[in-house]
Structure 1
Amino acid sequence: MSGFLLLRPAWLLALIPVLTLAVFALRRNRRGAWTAVTDPALIPVLLQLGWLRNSAGNRVMLLPFIAAGVTALALSGPAVPQAGRTELRALDPLVLMLDLSPSVVSEARNLSDLQAAAAGLISAAAGRPVGMMLYTADAWLASAPTTDSDTLLSLIGVLDRETAPIAGSRPDIALAMARDLFSTADGEGHSLPGGVDLVLVTDGGGSGPRATEEAARLAHDGARVWGLALTPAAAAPAQDAAGLAAIARAGGGESYAFADISGLSTAITRARSAKLAREDVAGAGMRDLGPWLLVLALACLFPLFLRWR
């Protein structure tokens, strides 16, 4: 389940003492404390009379520890996104930053890969608004964030080598423009609840210290920068893939190969969900399953109130 997360994961540490005490109690009381001072020949008779615990009694003895473990899991806040809740999705868009530099658009295969990657990321957005930027030696906002996927797919379908008026590859300019467009208005580093995700779909051309610095600034503002690496053209420098990975790391994300679009989409969803869990608005978009686990913990305690022969 891609949206599953723990709202309060620190509570999982409580499982360590619970498990330790359960193992200690089980070893100490396999047949009751009386076995240490009872003649072994009498033990079968005492078991038959019910004066010593049998294996069923040992299982019952573990129920409080099982209940305590389930309670710790409940307090950790396992949660899933609430179906039909779109309020938080609208707050933090996914922005595709498409590289239209000559090393990409001059080869039909790379241009097709770029279009396919953008279409795949839009499909995986699951109702989250998606914006689109284009860049070469300059950057342009091709589409403001929208949930109208048909419009975005139409824009992607007409991209070609004539789309950008100038040549070059400056991801640093594109990232700086994205920071101006999608940062919070107060300028104090306050980020949106889930954080904006920006995906550089590129062969890595133009990667360098400036782009890395811009990615770090975006991360400081609460955004995350990801990379989707197209296969470099023959004329592209070999170090470009490493440069794209450095940009993504500085931006709080990761870089993925074109063949792993699904892995990138899953990583984006998990990172956004984890950030939402740390915000005050987490309960507005997530369903906490902890109360249901508490019902299971109570069910584990019920047999303790039965009379065992």
Structure 2
Amino acid sequence: MATCDRCGEQESMPYQCRLCGGTYCSSHRLPENHDCPGLDEWDDPGGVFDSGFDDSVNDGGRSGGGLAAKVPVDTGPGGVLGYFRGNVSFALLALMWLTFILQYAVAPVLDVPPYSQQWFNIFTINTTAPLAVWTWVTSVFSHGGFGHIVLNSIVLYFFGPVVEKRIGSAKLVGLFVVAGALAGLAQVGATLVTNPSVLGEPLAFTQNGSAVLGASGAIAALMGVLTVLNPNLRIYLYFVIPMPLWIATLLFAGYSIFVSTVGGGIGAGGVAQFAHLAGLGIGLLYGVKVKREGERAPNQLQLGGGPGGPGGPGRRR
């Protein structure tokens, strides 16, 4: 239970204002309802908080420009997509599961069986066609099996909203997609450096090719950001083992390095170890940037998860 800073009411699900940092009940959660001092420094006559996801605060809840201006989508308070303002983490989570359905339910109906070359060329970054730009995005949301997506979903569910509150929705989307794509490209690129002959070869005809899919590289980036912002953030590994985030990150990195160098290589066990390390590195660097800009992280994450999910077929992230 928390106490509303405005009326003193006990609230089991309190709201925290991002302008002043105060804790409020549902009646006083809006900045204008608790006389938020942050409104005096913010040029927003409507008093509507902008999550950073769109420009609707300046035009009555309608999206800002370009195609969105021609096909208006209401993401303002009460709009059809209003829930996703400040909740982009869950939108990313939904996209992962929609892609998963496309992979294993829709694609076979369209005569694209799972793990066929055509399937790999749609849903993975691979050594056959590494410059297929669409796969740089689709691979981030694709997964190699039910266990793979479930574990990645759990970590995104807990880590995503925490990072989103610190850096904003738009930056979270950018970090997630860019870090995930670069992590996959790093894995495939490292494979091509060590085995250049597999470039362009169908995966069925080479044992040294690589196909990378999964959100683990992107999620490792989120973990890296949080590790820099608050290394002592308490998480519960596998919902059981409490530990500071910096230890979990160190174990995660140490395991990936060990497996990559001693335990069989950068793709040992069908897991894209190098992609994990690349994603983590991107997150750590971005976390340093955010910290220099004065962002703060929370002191505790009540229901944490483990540091990233396992992989699927080929090279998984």
TM > 0.5: no
Tell me the TM-score normalised to structure 1 length: 0.21
Q: Which has the larger radius of gyration?
A: 1
Which protein has the bigger strand share?
1
Tell me the TM-score normalised to structure 2 length: 0.21
Q: Which has the higher contact order (CA 8 A, sep 6+)?
A: 1
